[in-house]
Structures are given as structure tokens and as C-alpha cells.
Amino acid sequence: MISTTQSQPNRPAPRRHELRPLLAGPAQLAILAVLLTLMAATRFHAVGSALHLPDASMAVFFLGGLYLQRHRLFAGLLVAAVAIDYIAVTGRGLSFFDHYCVTPSYAFLLLAYAVLWYLGRAWAPSMAARPRALAGALAVALVAASASFLISNGAFYWFGGRYADPNFAQYIERVWRWGPLFVGTTMAYVGTALLAHALVARFARPRGAASGPRH
């Protein structure tokens, strides 16, 4: 008797989301604690200056989107950023809303940080401890950091009310002056985090996993 059952073609197994274990439980809490500590230590100018660490806020939001991903955690980090600013300003005896950097453009930080978070989140399914995936994460971080800087810096320049005669030439000069600093700082933090990711993945891999099963 000849079987009429057709053999099913072999289908590739669905790609495993490498970051899924980080989306809940102790790992998520540990990453959140590290990001909050880094932002607090560098966003407070007095602390950051003493430690010689530039502001890591942009990197924190990109890495948060990449590793944490949840909308509510984005909201929580955003509230934390505003709270840090408030404490830093009022702690020096100043009025928060009278501070030079607090203008109507301050609201654009929501959009600037959202770009970082959600571009990081978009890359998360492709993230792995492989050179191509890590290079892709760096490329996405570069785009996200550049866009975020243009939003926050542009909003401050055009809508902050701190410049008597804003013009395009002066704005471009400011972008060239400050853009490489902010974007470069963000890339340095992100690059360090991705290097740590690669090292942890390498040394946490079960022994013999790379060589496959032995017969």
C-alpha cells in the first residue's frame, strides 16, 4: 500500500527573541536600577562634574527602549528625569520655572526621549550578541541620538525664547557646535553597554553550547 500522505517541508524554527528573558523579573529590575542610577549620577550636574561623567540621559532612554521596552517604564523614566531636574534646580535655591533651561521647549523632551526609546524598542527583536546585530544597534542608536538632539536643541532654539533674533545660520552653527558632543557622548555610553552585553552573553553561555551536542 502506497501512502498518500505528503511529507511536510521542513520549516525553519522561528527566531528566538534573545532579549525576552530581560523583559520581566529580576533581570528587568536590575537593568532599570542601573539605568536610573546612571541617569541620576550624570544628570545632577554637581555629581556628574565631580565624577567627570557627561549626561547619560539620551543613552539611558535608548537602552531602556532596547532592553526594557515597556511603555510604562518609559513613562516612569520620563518622570524620573523631570524629578531629577526639579531637585537639581530647587536644591540650589532657584525656582524651577525660572531656570534658564526650563522654557516652553522643555515639553519637547517627551518627543526627544520617545524617539530614543521607541527606536531602541524597534531594534530589540533583532538584538543578539553577534557582530551584525550589535553593529545594527549602534547604527540605530546613531540615528536615534541625532534625531533626538535635533528635536531638543531645535525646540530650545526656536521656541525657548532665549534668543532675541533666531535665524537659520545661527541655528546651524549651534548644531555643529553641540551636536557632535551630545551624540558622541550617547554613542560612547551605548557602545559600552553593547560591549558589556556581548561579554555577558559570551561568558554566561552554557559550556559546550557553541559546539553543539556530542554523540
3-state secondary structure the chain: CCCCCCCCCCCCCCCCCCCHHHHCHHHHHHHHHHHHHHHHHHHCHHHHHHHCCCCCHHHHHHHHHHHCCCHHHHHHHHHHHHHHHHHHHHCCCCCHHHCCCCCHHHHHHHHHHHHHHHHHHHHHHHCCCCHHHHHHHHHHHHHHHHHHHHHHHHHHHHHCCCCCCCCHHHHHHHHHHHHHHHHHHHHHHHHHHHHHHHHHHHHHCCCCCCCCCCC
Residue type, 58: M
Percent of the chain topping pLDDT 90: 61
According to the model, what pLDDT value does residue 53 have?
80
For residues 62-78, average pLDDT? 96
What confidence tier does 211 reach under pLDDT thresholds 50, 70, 90?
A: very low
According to the model, what pLDDT value does residue 178 have?
93
According to the model, what pLDDT value does residue 3 have?
46
d(CA 23, CA 37): 19
Q: Are 89 and 96 in contact (CB under 8 A)?
A: yes
Could you tell me which of 150, 207, 143, 145 has the C-alpha nearest to residue 176?
A: 150
For residues 183-187, average pLDDT? 97
> Is the pLDDT higher at 12 or at 196?
196
Q: Are 60 and 77 in contact (CB under 8 A)?
A: yes
Tell me what the pLDDT averaged over the chain comes to: 84
The 10s digit of each residue's pLDDT in 139-169 is: 999 999 999 999 999 999 999 888 888 999 9
> Is the pLDDT higher at 38 or at 12?
38
